[in-house]
Homo-oligomer: A and B are copies of this chain.
């Protein structure tokens, strides 16, 4: 499926005018609001996104879930809008809207006809500073997020496993706390907690505006000045410093057993550096390493060794996302076939990694991966929503517009030796958590 999509992307792009860095305009308002405009005139639509440099990792300890809770509460009343009216107006104008919360950011977006941009800005600027919460909103919406946790996490063994692994991976840093929050803390979140977070972070100097689509950058800037310009910044906004990890000195393992598990697997995550502003080379090499090791069942190192050649595994993967404000993870997954135990699957995983470290990178495979990455980039450029998300996520994760624009070239420049060096650096078992996900087995897990 994925390769098919890439192919489609290539076809589309060939038929369209180029969408390159030239289409990107930036400006910053006096109150600190950063803005990025991505021009794309193929269709008369606009994506209006407002990103806050505040995610769950910016929560005060003990307040887990407040960033996501507030995301829900932003759809309540403001001075000029009734509760729920925001989305109703977007719908009535033929658009759609939504929001999302991550460790590093919270974002709000609408996709509407291009001539409705000013209305979106007016409403988004309004709720940045003028939300009016009631005690009833808190009670009602807290039940909603608790039910959301119920459904997405507590009823999902894979999600619980992931939470426990993250908590084991990070000894101190808040990436070890789930975005949705620990239930016992969510239950205590109050209107004061929500307003504290809101007043601090929902401010122009902690926000990034991304407007993408059929717009004129000069007009966007004029509209932004008109609607976002008058908003007061948060004075003395603190530098964004989270609790940082102490040295990780000992390999960790975690055995999750749940009767609801249908397909056992072994997963290992290693601590890994993220993309830093002006310093993305290691992240580029790790991105390529993930593709080389686990990108494709047919041609990747894991796929060839454990799926194609031997059919020992039914799925293999390696993953890494450099878009993160602080240190992130590099992961590998093996889902064994029916004849392999998790121990055997893990042994195979280690053997494949060891052999890869000896053999090095196959230049033919690297060229193939680069072609895929290039296709993916081009396809990404073609999707105006995806481009907007990339800029929003990057600019709220500590990167600059220049970093975003240099990234494809950095991927292109990665050498076989870069990948091997990155692998040597990242494959440090002392900084890794190996997880087994399985049905309860009376004794075997203790071995």
Instruction: State how many copies of this chain the complex holds.
Output: 2
Q: How far is the CB of A432 from chain B (nearest CB, A)?
A: 10
Q: How far is the CB of A127 from chain B (nearest CB, A)?
A: 30
Query: Across the interface, do B184 and A244 meet the contact criterion of CB distance under 8 Å?
Result: yes
A445 at the interface (CB under 8 A from B): yes
A89 — which chain B residues lie within 8 A by C-beta?
A: none
Query: Across the interface, do B171 and A246 meet the contact criterion of CB distance under 8 Å?
Result: no
A151 at the interface (CB under 8 A from B): no
A367 at the interface (CB under 8 A from B): no
Given contacts A172-B177, A172-B182, A244-B184, contact A252 B250 (CB under 8 A): no
A254 — which chain B residues lie within 8 A by C-beta?
A: 250-253
What residue in chain B is nearest A181 (Cβ atoms)? Answer: B246
A161 — which chain B residues lie within 8 A by C-beta?
A: 249-250
Expressed in whole angstroms, the Cα–Cα distance for A231 and B124 within the complex equals 53
A413 at the interface (CB under 8 A from B): no
Q: Among residues 136 to 166 in chain A, which have CB atoms less than 8 Å away from a CB atom of chain B?
A: 160-161, 163-165
Query: Across the interface, do A164 and B445 meet the contact criterion of CB distance under 8 Å?
Result: no
A447 at the interface (CB under 8 A from B): yes
A252 — which chain B residues lie within 8 A by C-beta?
A: 168, 252-255
A235 at the interface (CB under 8 A from B): no
Expressed in whole angstroms, the Cα–Cα distance for A184 and B172 within the complex equals 12
Query: Across the interface, do B255 and A62 meet the contact criterion of CB distance under 8 Å?
Result: no
Expressed in whole angstroms, the Cα–Cα distance for A254 and B429 within the complex equals 11
A350 at the interface (CB under 8 A from B): yes
What residue in chain B is nearest A248 (Cβ atoms)? Answer: B164
A298 at the interface (CB under 8 A from B): no
Expressed in whole angstroms, the Cα–Cα distance for A243 and B167 within the complex equals 14
A202 at the interface (CB under 8 A from B): no
Query: Across the interface, do A256 and B250 meet the contact criterion of CB distance under 8 Å?
Result: yes
Q: Which of B171, B243, B346, B347 contacts A61 (CB 8 A)?
A: B243
A446 at the interface (CB under 8 A from B): yes
Q: How far is the CB of A199 from chain B (nearest CB, A)?
A: 21
A337 at the interface (CB under 8 A from B): no
Scoring A62, A171, A347 by chain B CB atoms within 10 A of each residue's CB, the highest score goes to A171
Q: Which of B160, B165, B250 contacts A164 (CB 8 A)?
A: B250
A177 — which chain B residues lie within 8 A by C-beta?
A: 172
Query: Across the interface, do B160 and A167 meet the contact criterion of CB distance under 8 Å?
Result: no
Q: Among residues 276 to 314 in chain A, which have CB atoms less than 8 Å away from a CB atom of chain B?
A: none
Q: How far is the CB of A181 from chain B (nearest CB, A)?
A: 9
Q: How far is the CB of A66 from chain B (nearest CB, A)?
A: 14
What residue in chain B is nearest A430 (Cβ atoms)? Answer: B257
A176 at the interface (CB under 8 A from B): yes
Query: Across the interface, do B171 and A176 meet the contact criterion of CB distance under 8 Å?
Result: yes
Q: Which of B62, B248, B253, B257 contacts A243 (CB 8 A)?
A: B62
Q: How far is the CB of A436 from chain B (nearest CB, A)?
A: 9
Q: How far is the CB of A78 from chain B (nearest CB, A)?
A: 33
Expressed in whole angstroms, the Cα–Cα distance for A160 and B168 within the complex equals 17
A183 at the interface (CB under 8 A from B): yes
Q: How far is the CB of A431 from chain B (nearest CB, A)?
A: 11
A251 — which chain B residues lie within 8 A by C-beta?
A: 254-257, 445
Q: Among residues 414 to 441 in chain A, which have CB atoms less than 8 Å away from a CB atom of chain B?
A: 429-430, 435
**30 A–B pairs (Cβ distance < 8 Å), ordered by A:** A61-B243, A160-B249, A161-B250, A164-B248, A164-B249, A164-B250, A167-B171, A167-B172, A167-B246, A168-B168, A168-B171, A171-B176, A172-B177, A172-B182, A183-B246, A184-B244, A184-B246, A249-B256, A250-B254, A250-B257, A251-B255, A251-B256, A252-B252, A252-B255, A253-B253, A343-B447, A346-B446, A347-B447, A350-B446, A429-B446
3 nearest CB pairs, A to B: A253-B253, A167-B171, A250-B256
